[in-house]
């Protein structure tokens, strides 16, 4: 399989979906919001974007199954599966804020082998494939060389519907606020991971995430020289629903802070 070519095919599909989302943003109003749960928003834009992506990916790799946020398709592949978030950062999109993205990853068996994150507002396409490095708009990217928390800018995501661990999270937030350059919350996990990969953030952590939130970003971070793990330092991300993504050099001290409270 030519993973490089497949990645460039994914890029074209992600950008097509992104163009649709960009066009729809001009006339979007809050009356078009639907609720999947507490603070869990969706719109026709998410659903139509997903249908477009699924149709294109199905033609690209007919034997592959799908794991998608809006569940417009329910097919599991034996070897290959696409992991798709058609609009990561829906709440931002609905409120007219930047930082929302199309996220598409290809998984072979249990291994993530290609990922594309197209951040629509800035027209930035981050992508990577296994063994091929990571890129932003055709230019190679790498994680930072920073090796200390005090010099780090760190991204996170606030709990928005499951508040069982809120106090633990706030304790981590409180400690890191006093130790690092700053904490940022953009509201799009895919974008946060892409920004770790290109060196805008030194690290990122969040819990209560799904595979489609992070799969593509994980590929890009790893190929950019970074590391990913769960809050315990383990490799399982999807079942744990936790992620810590870093340049590798601040992984241990960041895990130490998180481990004090979780």
pLDDT of residue 31: 66
Give every strand in the sheet of 227-229, ordered side by side.
Answer: 182-184, 153-156, 203-207, 242-246, 227-229
- Look up the CATH number of domain 149-261: 3.40.190.80
Q: Are 73 and 212 in contact (CB under 8 A)?
A: no
3-state secondary structure 113-182: EEEEEEECCCCEEEEEECCCCEEECCEECCCCCCCCHHHCEEEECCCCCCCCCHHHHHHHHHHHHHHCCE
pLDDT of residue 19: 97
* pLDDT tens digit sequence for 17-43: 999 999 998 888 776 777 766 655 678
Cα separation, 86 vs 84, whole angstroms = 6
Question: At 214, is the secondary structure helix, strand, or coil?
Answer: helix
Architecture of domain 3-140: 2-Layer Sandwich (3.30)
Q: How many CB atoms lie within 10 A of CB 132?
A: 15
Cα separation, 41 vs 21, whole angstroms = 16
Cα separation, 197 vs 224, whole angstroms = 5
Q: Where in the chain is the domain with CATH 3.40.190.80?
A: 149-261
Cα separation, 83 vs 244, whole angstroms = 19
pLDDT tens-place values along the chain, 262 residues long: 899 999 999 999 999 999 999 999 888 877 677 776 665 567 889 999 999 999 999 999 999 999 999 888 989 999 999 999 999 999 999 889 999 999 999 999 999 999 999 999 999 999 999 999 999 999 999 999 999 999 999 999 998 878 899 999 999 999 999 999 999 999 999 999 999 999 999 999 999 999 999 999 999 999 999 999 999 999 999 999 999 999 999 999 999 999 999 9
Listed residue (188, 169, 185) closest to 91, CA to CA: 188
Question: At 219, is the secondary structure helix, strand, or coil?
Answer: helix
Q: Where in the chain is the domain with CATH 3.30.540.10?
A: 3-140
Q: Are 173 and 156 in contact (CB under 8 A)?
A: yes
pLDDT of residue 35: 75
pLDDT of residue 177: 97
């Amino acid at each position: 399989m030519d993973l490089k070519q497949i990645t460039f095919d994914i890029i074209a599909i992600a950008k097509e979906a992104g163009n649709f989302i960009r066009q729809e943003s001009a006339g979007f109003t809050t009356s078009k919001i639907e609720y999947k749960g507490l603070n869990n928003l969706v719109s026709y834009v998410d659903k139509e974007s997903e249908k477009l992506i699924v149709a294109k990916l199905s033609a690209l790799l007919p034997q592959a199954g799908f794991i998608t946020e809006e569940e417009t398709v329910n097919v599991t592949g034996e070897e290959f599966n696409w992991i798709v978030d058609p609009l990561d950062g829906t709440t931002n999109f609905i409120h007219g804020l930047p930082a929302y993205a199309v996220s598409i990853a290809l998984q072979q068996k249990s291994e993530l082998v290609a990922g594309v994150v197209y951040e629509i507002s800035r027209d930035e396409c981050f992508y990577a494939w296994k063994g091929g490095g990571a890129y932003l708009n055709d230019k190679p990217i790498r994680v930072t060389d920073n090796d200390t928390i005090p010099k780090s800018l760190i991204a996170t995501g606030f709990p928005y519907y499951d508040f069982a661990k809120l106090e633990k999270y706030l304790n981590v937030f409180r400690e890191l606020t006093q130790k690092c350059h700053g904490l940022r919350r953009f509201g799009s996990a895919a974008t946060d991971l892409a920004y770790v990969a290109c060196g805008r953030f030194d690290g990122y952590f969040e819990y209560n995430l799904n595979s489609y939130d992070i799969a593509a970003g994980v590929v890009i971070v790893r190929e950019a020289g970074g590391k990913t793990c769960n809050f315990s330092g383990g490799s399982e991300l999807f079942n744990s629903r936790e992620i810590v993504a870093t340049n590798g050099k601040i992984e241990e001290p960041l895990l130490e802070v998180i481990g004090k409270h979780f």
